[in-house]
Amino acid sequence: MGDLPPYPERPAQQPPGRRTSQASQRRHSRDQAQALGADPEERQQIPPDAQRNAPGWSQRGSLSQQENLLMPQVFQAEEARLGGMEYPSVNTGFPSEFQPQPYSDESRMQVAELTTSLMLQRLQQGQSSLFQQLDPTFQEPPVNPLGQFNLYQTDQFSEGAQHGPYLRDDPALQFLPSELGFPHYSAQVPEPEPLELAVQNAKAYLLHTSINCDLSLYEHLVNLLTKILNQRPEDPLSVLESLNRTTQWEWFHPKLDTLRDDPEMQPTYKMAEKQKALFIRSGGGTEGEQEMEEEVGETPVPNIMETAFYFEQAGVGLSSDESFRIFLAMKQLVEQQPIHTCRFWGKILGIKRSYLVAEVEFREGEEEAEEEEVEEMTEGGEVMEAHGEEEGEEDEEKAVDIVPKPVWKPPPVIPKEESRSGANKYLYFVCNEPGLPWTRLPHVTPAQIVNARKIKKFFTGYLDTPVVSYPPFPGNEANYLRAQIARISAATQVSPLGFYQFNEEEGDEEEEGGAGRDSYEENPDFEGIPVLELVDSMANWVHHTQHILPQGRCTWVNPLQKTEEEEDLGEEEEKADEGPEEVEQEVGPPLLTPLSEDAEIMHLAPWTTRLSCSLCPQYSVAVVRSNLWPGAYAYASGKKFENIYIGWGHKYSPESFNPALPAPIQQEYPSGPEIVEMSDPTVEEEQALKAAQEQALGATEEEEEGEEEEEGEETDD
Amino acid sequence: MDADSLLLSLELASGSGQGLSPDRRASLLTSLMLVKRDYRYDRVLFWGRILGLVADYYIAQGLSEDQLAPRKTLYRGAPLLSPQVQIKEETRLVSVIEQIDKAVAIIPRGALFKTPFGPTHVNRTFEGLSLSEAKKLSSYFHFREPVELKNKTLLEKADLDPSLDFMDSLEHDIPKGSWSIQMERGNALVVLRSLLWPGLTFYHAPHTKNYGYIYVGTGEKNMDLPFML
């Protein structure tokens, strides 16, 4: 208490005349606070004062002065609570100066809190007259620290730290009598600060969630600013839009925890897994070395990368990593199947998926087992049909009422070619993407080829899709695919002249039915044709696949030659029909025919040749492109050549596709007088007849009267 | 496809089997740069290659700032006078290119946006379509002035975003099913091929900015499409 005396001195220094008005007291306190603030000495004494105040306060005896001292504190406390905006106005002079002071002491704060609450209670109990007793000579210093305390207090008040109602720093608004008598946390909230109200409204607006989602603009801005502050990008203003978009996207697509899989990427990962399997070498680790030696030797897998390189020179083909994957997939195929030779035939595009086609040749004897299964399926169907017809006819014969037998007989089925010959010389495997399993395509039948020539359909990518067309295609997409592959192979597989030659054994052409030789072998003495010559003349290229006859086969077969089955079943009918049908032998161009002999397509050359690079002809490659089958390419360079097809699998025709017309309606039965309905005689005819009969009657009237009646009956019929 | 990303684009579009040989690629890169400089184009697209009997035409297009403005087409190749027909091959070429452009040039949704003042701009923040979006036809637009947009009902228009959806989508193309959508490279690339103009390939790598289209073919429409579907 020894320090007290100096304090009253200072107030005494204040100019008098500020007693009465509360506003003046207010200013007074401010001035004193400022004066105090100016006084550095006092600062150090404030904390001890605060402490002293507490004990001083508890001694309620001689409190009048202290009460007076603390009244302004009350005001300040109230004001602090009431008007947060006043903080700057109250503490304009000294906040910076007072900050270094150790106000963070909790005990002091709590003590101050206690004091203020007690003060307020006192206020409630007391009368307003207290204020009149206010002595300008009150203690300033405690006010200031307490004011500071109040600053912190209001921030830390649990319930009471509401933002508002805030009072503006207008003396006229202050110290309304009604305010003074209110309880601790006033129930009667005065008019909120308009500025603060505006802030509240703005914040409430920002907190509105968007219509589409749960995110509010406030939250989004918080996220965005946090992100920017965390990342500190170089020029944030320029990347603001993209940051905005990214933040929004991230909100709705939170990074899933590592345990759960991203559902969208599942198919991609699965595919990658499958393709990864391609890259793993088969066999265990210990066998690795042995296998290495074996693999270096001959392998039926062709050098796809080399082929791809050459075709790339021509501007054709798939990308290099795709080619490599195909190479690995073919390697896998070779390991799975007993393959003697194999070649990448090409790619056929489909609507939903595409097909990668590999042309293979099995080792001798290997394919028989699998073949039988397939053959049984198809042949079983045919036999069933034949049986069905026969049974139907027998039933009809037994029936009493003889229904006229159908004269139409299905055209004889042309037997399909044996494996390893003609159109079925090679086996074809397809897969949709490298890594997926290879599927074997069935052999092609002549009927399928004949029908494939009449229709034009896109491939969907699924082998078991039915082919809906007219004329109805005998088979599903697998068969149609195989038929198109056969047609394309027959038309566009070419090689430089001299690469292949006929076998040494020369059979008589007539014996073979004029079909020509169907086998060839590589010419070991092939020297290679200069690229320029290959480009100049089409005679330097030859077909090395057999042409498919209109019948649908490469070697002609007389359909009327009865097989054993047909003889058993329907002898009589066939003999009757054999007469009118005369089948001519179909002849096609022989094997190894040069391309110059190919028919033109409406004045359009069937083939186009190109040098791969006109700027460096010495290193370029001769490329031949088919105009009849768009997508078929062949290259030759030195002793190497290769064919490939990448396309939709359709022939080019300058005219539009005309689907076959439906067959004419069949005659059901021959017309004859016994079936045809007679027309009734007209009235004139009847009368004429009657007149004629009467004349005749008149002549023979005497003879018999009964005859007239009979005639009358007859005419009535 | 953009001349800037020519090599990558050719790699991605190679699934259809037609591409460019290395020497062509090199010469194209150079010449497209020169074209851009000489004609002052904002962007130069390599449109594609039209196969001819004797020689091929290589077509490039130049775009100005406004992406939807009429494009200038440039070609390189030897025009021939067709012996039978009186029309100059050049005219025929130009008309074919225009037909193809009108019918099947496409871009993904969000790649261009329209400003309130009218011109359309490349969207620099286009991050690519997501996988599920990429498989739908409605995420792709025709790269031309809209024709069907006005015929949409008010309900449909309410869902559209006027800055992004200002072109016709592929959904209502006639005949239906004239587009084939496929995922290649194990779902890392979506490829659209037109069945009406065989030879047009559009590619897009989902979640990336790469997209483009190229036409390599003889320039003939597939009139048999309805029979083939």
pLDDT at A10 over 50: no
Least confident of A314-328, A405-419, A538-552, B99-113: A405-419
pLDDT confidence band for A7 (50 / 70 / 90): very low
Note the pLDDT of residue A345.
Answer: 92
Residue tagged 């921030």 (tokens): A155
pLDDT in tens, A364-373: 766 554 554 4
* Residue pair B154/B170 in contact by the 8 Å Cβ criterion: no
pLDDT of residue A477: 92
Q: Give the pLDDT band (50/70/90) at residue A14.
A: very low
pLDDT score, position A117: 59
CA distance A650 to chain B (A): 10
Cβ contact A349–B16 (<8 Å):
yes
Compare B191 and A298 and report the one with higher pLDDT.
B191
* pLDDT of residue A397 exceeding 50: no
- Nearest-angstrom CA–CA distance, A204 and A590: 89
Across the interface, whether the CB atoms of A347 and B17 are under 8 A apart is answered: yes
Q: What is the ipTM of this complex?
A: 0.88
- Hey, is A236 helix, strand or coil? coil
Q: Which of residues 40-79 of B touch A (CB under 8 A)?
A: 51, 53-54
- Helix or strand or coil: residue A216? strand
pTM: 0.65
Q: Point out the least confidently predicted range of A51-65, A538-552, B49-63.
A: A51-65
Q: Choose among A268, A312, A319: nearest Cβ to B187.
A: A268
Mean pLDDT in each 10-residue stretch from start to end of chain B (229 residues)? 80 79 85 85 84 80 73 69 61 85 87 79 81 86 81 76 80 83 83 89 88 87 83
Q: Band the pLDDT of A11: cuts 50, 70, 90.
A: very low
Rg (chain B; Cα; Å): 18
CA atoms lying within 13 Å on the CB side of residue A44? 2
Q: Which of residues 595-614 of A touch B (CB under 8 A)?
A: 603-605, 608, 612-613
Between A96-105, A327-336, A516-525, B191-200, the lowest mean confidence (pLDDT) is in: A96-105
Helix (H, G, I), strand (E, B) or coil at A594: strand
More confident residue, A287 or B189: B189
The mean pLDDT value for A650-657 works out to 81
Helices A106-125, A64-82: axis angle to 10 degrees equals: 100
The answer, yes or no, to whether the previous bond of A471 is cis (omega within 30 of 0) is yes
Cβ burial A115-125 (10 Å sphere, 16+ → b, else e): bbeebbebbee
pLDDT of the residue at A714: 53
pLDDT for res B21: 82
Q: Are A118 and A110 within 8 A, CB to CB?
A: no
Contact (Cβ atoms closer than 8 angstroms) between residue A496 and residue A534: yes
- Top pLDDT among A92 and A116 is at A116
A22-38 helix and A143-156 helix, angle to the nearest 10 degrees = 100
Q: How are beta strands A439-440 and A427-431 bridged, if at all?
A: antiparallel
H or E, element range at A525: none
Nearest to A586 by CA among A559, A623, A613: A559
Instruction: Kindly report which listed range (A650-654, A708-712, B180-184, B222-226) carries the lowest average pLDDT score.
Output: A708-712
The secondary element (H helix, E strand) that includes residue A490 is helix A477-492
Q: Tell me, letter by letter, the H, E, C secondary structure of A274-309.
A: HHHHHHCCCCCCCCHHHHHHHHHCCCCCCCHHHHHH
A76 touches chain B (CB under 8 A): no
Q: d(Cα A235, Cα A241) in Å, to the nearest integer?
A: 12
**Cis peptide leading into A415, omega within 30 of 0?**
no
Average pLDDT of the residues in A641-649: 90
Helices A143-156 and A64-82, axial angle in degrees (round to 10):
40
CA angle B175, B179, B181 (to 5 degrees): 150
Residue B89 Cα, gap to closest chain A Cα (Å):
16
Mutate which of B121, B122, B182, B202 to disrupt the A interface (most A C-beta within 10 Å)?
Answer: B182
Q: Is A614 exposed, middle or buried (0-12, 13-18, 19+ CB in 10 A)?
A: exposed
Which three-class secondary structure state does DSSP give residue A416? Answer: coil
Average pLDDT of chain A is 67
State the average pLDDT over residues A433-448: 88
Residue-level pLDDT at A192 = 67
pLDDT given for residue A62 in this prediction? 45
Say if residues A3 and A48 touch (Cβ distance below 8 Å): yes
Contact B17 A656 (CB under 8 A): no
Distance, in Å, from the CA atom of A690 to the CA atom of A684, rounded to the nearest integer, reads: 10
- Structure confidence by residue, pLDDT tens digits, A612-628: 877 777 788 888 888 88
Q: Which of A47-51, A478-482, A545-549 has the lowest mean pLDDT?
A: A47-51
* A610 φ/ψ angles, rounded to the nearest 5 degrees: -150, 150
Nearest to B62 by CA among B38, B44, B39, B36: B44
Residues of chain B neighbouring A613 (CB-CB closer than 8 A) = 21, 23
Instruction: Write out chain B in H/E/C secondary structure.
Output: CECCCHHHHHHHHHHHCECCCHHHHHHHHHHHHHHHHHHCCCEEEEEEEECCCCCCEEEEEEECCCCCCCCEEEEECCCCCCCCCCCCHHHHHHHHHHHHHHHHCEEECCCEEECCCCCEEECCCCCCCCHHHHCCHHHEEECCCCCCHHHCCHHHHHHCCCCCCCCCEHHHCCCCCCEEEEEECCCCEEEEEECCCCCEEEEECCCCCCEEEEEEECCCCCCCHHHHC
Q: At A589, is the secondary structure helix, strand, or coil?
A: coil
In whole angstroms, give the CA distance from residue B38 to residue A279: 48
Interchain pair A351, B177: CB under 8 A? yes
Higher pLDDT, A202 or A300: A202
For residue B75, the cross-strand partners are B59
- The reply to whether residue B227 touches residue A456, judged by beta carbons under 8 angstroms, is yes
List the single residue in A with minimal CA-CA distance to B206. A265
Q: Which residues of A23-52 are buried (b: 16+ CB within 10 A; e: fewer)?
A: ebbbebbbbbbbbbbeeeebbeebbebbeb
Q: Does A164 touch chain B (CB under 8 A)?
A: no
Which residue is listed with tokens 């109250």?
A90
CB B102 within 8 A of CB B144: yes
Give the minimum alpha-carbon distance from A609 to chain B in angstroms, rounded to a whole number.
Answer: 8
- Interchain contact, A315 vs B24, CB within 8 Å: yes
Chain A residues whose beta carbon lies within 8 Å of the beta carbon of residue B48: none
A508-529 residue pLDDT tens = 443 433 334 567 778 777 777 8
DSSP A298-362: --SS--HHHHHHHHHHTTBS--HHHHHHHHHHHHHHHHHS-EEEEEEEEEE--SS--EEEEEEEE
Question: Does B23 sit within 8 Å of A615, measured CB to CB?
Answer: yes
Tell me whether A351 touches chain B (CB under 8 Å).
Answer: yes
Calculate mean pLDDT across residues A117-144. 50
Among A312, A436, A488, A607, the strongest candidate for a mutation testing the B interface, having the largest count of B CBs within 10 A, is A312
Q: CB–CB of B125 and A615 under 8 A? A: no
CA atoms of B93 and A711, how far apart (whole Å): 87
Residue A464 contacts residue A476 (beta carbons within 8 Å):
yes
